[in-house]
């Protein structure tokens, strides 16, 4: 019954997506890559949320909450503010230039080499980090919910391999052969199911905690685990409170404002008003995100008494423990849709970046739009297969969500830096952007993967020599030994901007950059955008104040 309901709901979403997109032209770049620039606010919001809300979020962030409590909600709540900033400041400029990819702006503002370097960074990040993690975390969830090892009589590792390839093949059909609109439509349908199913997990979990009473469950959970309900994270937590004002906002602004995988949905808006409304609607809903991606982790901590060895298994185990069997197939189908959404989003963006920014730019400048799309699809298939081959090895990477965020810093902050400088200045030259990209990546790698391990290990060795052995004290030693990676991001962001501005002062462009309006869509702003954005920001502040 569980498997039948899973297949039925998954097939329903696929059929609806096909019927809704069969008349959308997929042989030209606007039709395939941007859904014909026809997306409305509701579709944009649903697609943004589901592309983001996948198993690396649901499994990984709940795993962090299991350990550290509600303070990790910063990844959700501050995302709302980042979307407001994107809606007000970045999206109008993107749509004014009629962009299909973010690197296109960099070609106009700096030069083609800067665009190519940025596209290559995006593609490398998607291939090596994002796509494999989405596949692995999705496989972990699906395998756990259906108990695939016992069902098929195989090992845990073999079940991960099987699930990875099933998810990957399904994702190829959606993203590569359907284009962005197919992804966006299926996202919107699945978003409804995910929000419904995602809310059921904490509800049933609280009822179990309260022995049949939801209100008693809330009271028991908060009274018996008060340390888990503090919004201001300690310095040993994954998100110390001070990092909200350093690298946390920068990471969120990169993700929601410049990451091709995400912003491509807003670039496909039929006009600026629809794009702004879609971003703000997604921002408002994002405030409720901790109910789905943080609270279950705390419930799991209470139910399993903090005894789980692998914190990333907290969410799948909670689902099996609290969800009535009749709902398991439906929720697995919705979760499967969320997995596909993140995979599809990154894969479709990769196809877009390769087709327009790599193939047409450097291999065949005279290629027809049909050929560009076809070459992009071929690349997408190869990229997906590559990710499917390495995804099962992510099992040894540690905490999924922390690993994802830290490694993404290699390219996220350098890209954000050159985009900010590109929009904020008129005469900073292309050479400054290239140096900013390369120095940002290199300095972050040296900091996090060479200098940090050396200093942390040295500090731990000194602690051992001084007889310090308990986990809490060692955690403090590690935190004091080196700045948090979010602080490192903020430091490098400021340093890279300073480097670019100095170069711009010494070797300015001969002519000031002037952005042209391509008139592909109407860029009249939505009048209440500032008021609505202010109200959402106030809600975020009140949430932090309540749980302080």
Structure confidence by residue, pLDDT tens digits, 77-93: 999 999 999 999 999 99
* Spatial contact of 69 and 298, defined as CB atoms under 8 Å apart: yes
CA distance 544 to 548: 6
CA distance 420 to 106: 11
Tell me the domains of the chain and their CATH numbers: 2-18+30-546 (1.20.1730.10)
- What's 89's DSSP letter? I
Q: How far is CA 15 from CA 174, 315, 388, in A?
A: 11, 30, 25
Q: Which residues contact 212 (CB under 8 A, 6 or more apart)?
A: none
512: left (phi over 0), alpha (psi -120 to 50) or beta: beta
Q: Which residue matches tokens 């209100």?
A: 215
CA distance 37 to 42: 14
- Retrieve residue 50's tokens: 């589901």
Give the chain's length: 548
Q: What angle do CA 306, 79, 196 make, to 5 degrees?
A: 65
Nearest to 287 by CA among 12, 542, 1: 542
Q: What is the 3-state secondary structure (H, E, C) of 196-240?
A: HHHHHHHHHHHHHHCCCCHHHHHHHHHHHCHHHCCCCCCCCCCCC
CA distance 442 to 453: 16
User: What element of type H or E holds 93?
Assistant: helix 91-96
CA distance 233 to 231: 6
Q: Which residue matches tokens 């799948």?
A: 316
pLDDT of residue 88: 96
Nearest to 256 by CA among 425, 44, 39: 44
* Spatial contact of 255 and 117, defined as CB atoms under 8 Å apart: no
pLDDT of residue 190: 66
First to last CA, the chain: 45
Q: What angle do CA 238, 320, 329 make, to 5 degrees?
A: 115
Q: Which residues contact 134 (CB under 8 A, 6 or more apart)?
A: 54, 55, 56, 339, 342, 343, 346
Write out the chain's pLDDT in tens, 548 residues.
556 656 665 666 666 655 655 555 544 444 444 555 778 898 888 778 777 777 778 888 898 899 899 999 999 999 999 999 999 999 999 999 888 778 889 988 999 999 888 888 888 888 888 888 888 888 887 887 777 888 788 888 888 899 889 888 877 776 555 554 555 566 666 667 777 778 889 999 999 999 999 999 999 999 999 999 998 988 888 889 999 999 999 999 999 999 877 888 788 889 999 999 999 999 998 998 899 899 999 999 999 988 887 787 788 889 888 888 777 777 777 777 777 777 776 777 777 778 877 888 888 878 787 787 778 778 888 888 898 998 888 776 555 666 777 888 898 999 999 999 999 999 999 999 999 999 999 999 999 989 999 999 999 889 888 888 787 788 888 888 999 999 999 999 999 999 999 999 999 999 999 988 988 888 999 999 999 999 999 999 999 999 87
CA distance 308 to 66: 9
Helix 2-21, helix 156-209: angle, nearest 10: 100
| Phi then psi dihedrals of residue 228, to 5 deg | -85, -10
CA distance 121 to 143: 32
* Spatial contact of 202 and 214, defined as CB atoms under 8 Å apart: no
- Retrieve residue 431's tokens: 């050479």
C-alpha 461: how far from chain center: 36
- Retrieve residue 80's tokens: 């709302």
| Strands, E assignment, 79-179 | none
């Amino acid at each position: 019954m569980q498997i039948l309901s899973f297949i039925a709901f998954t097939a329903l979403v696929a059929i609806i997506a096909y019927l809704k997109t069969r008349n959308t032209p997929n042989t030209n770049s606007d039709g395939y890559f941007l859904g014909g620039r026809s997306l409305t606010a509701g579709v944009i919001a649903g697609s943004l949320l589901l592309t983001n809300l996948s198993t690396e979020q649901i499994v990984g962030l709940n795993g962090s909450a299991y350990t550290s409590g509600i303070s990790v909600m910063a990844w959700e709540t501050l995302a709302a503010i980042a979307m407001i900033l994107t809606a007000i400041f970045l999206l109008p400029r993107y749509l004014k230039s009629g962009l299909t990819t973010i690197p296109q702006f960099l070609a106009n503002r700096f030069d083609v080499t800067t665009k190519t370097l940025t596209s290559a960074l995006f593609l490398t990040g998607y291939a090596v980090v994002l796509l494999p993690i989405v596949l692995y975390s999705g496989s972990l969830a699906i395998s756990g919910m259906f108990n695939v090892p016992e069902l098929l009589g195989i090992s845990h590792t073999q079940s991960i391999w099987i699930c990875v390839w099933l998810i990957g093949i399904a994702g190829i059909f959606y993203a590569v052969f359907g284009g962005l609109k197919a992804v966006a439509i299926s996202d919107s349908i699945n978003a409804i199911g995910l929000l419904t199913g995602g809310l059921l997990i904490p509800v049933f979990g609280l009822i179990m905690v309260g022995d049949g009473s939801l209100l008693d469950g809330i009271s028991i959970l908060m009274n018996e685990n008060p340390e888990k309900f503090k919004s201001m994270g300690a310095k040993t937590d994954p998100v110390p409170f001070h990092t909200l004002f350093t690298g946390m906002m920068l990471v969120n602004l990169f993700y929601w404002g410049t990451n091709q995988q995400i912003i491509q949905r807003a670039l496909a808006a039929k006009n600026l008003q629809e794009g702004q409304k879609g971003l703000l609607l997604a921002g408002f809903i994002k405030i409720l995100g901790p109910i789905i991606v943080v609270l279950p982790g705390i419930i799991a901590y209470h139910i399993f008494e903090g005894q789980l060895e692998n914190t990333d298994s907290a969410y799948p185990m909670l689902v099996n423990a609290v969800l009535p069997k009749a709902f398991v197939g439906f929720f697995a189908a919705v979760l499967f849709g969320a997995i596909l959404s993140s995979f599809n989003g990154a894969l479709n963006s990769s196809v877009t970046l390769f087709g327009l920014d790599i193939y047409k730019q450097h291999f065949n400048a005279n290629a027809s739009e049909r050929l560009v799309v076809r070459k992009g699809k071929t690349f997408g298939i190869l990229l997906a297969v590559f990710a499917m081959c390495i995804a099962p090895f992510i099992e040894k990477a540690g905490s999924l969500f922390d690993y994802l965020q830290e490694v993404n810093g290699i390219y996220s902050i350098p890209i954000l830096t050159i985009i900010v400088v590109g929009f904020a200045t008129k005469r900073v030259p292309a050479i400054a952007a290239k140096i900013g990209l390369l120095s940002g990546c290199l300095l972050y790698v040296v900091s996090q993967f060479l200098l940090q391990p050396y200093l942390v290990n040295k500090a731990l060795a000194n602690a051992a020599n001084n007889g310090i052995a308990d986990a809490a004290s060692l955690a403090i030693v590690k935190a004091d030994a080196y700045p948090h990676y979010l602080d490192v991001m903020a430091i490098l962001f400021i340093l890279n901007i300073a480097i670019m501005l100095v170069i711009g002062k010494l070797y300015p462009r001969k002519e000031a950059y002037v952005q042209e309006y391509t008139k592909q869509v109407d860029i009249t702003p939505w009048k209440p955008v500032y008021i609505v954005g202010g109200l959402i920001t106030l809600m975020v502040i009140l949430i932090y104040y309540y749980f302080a």
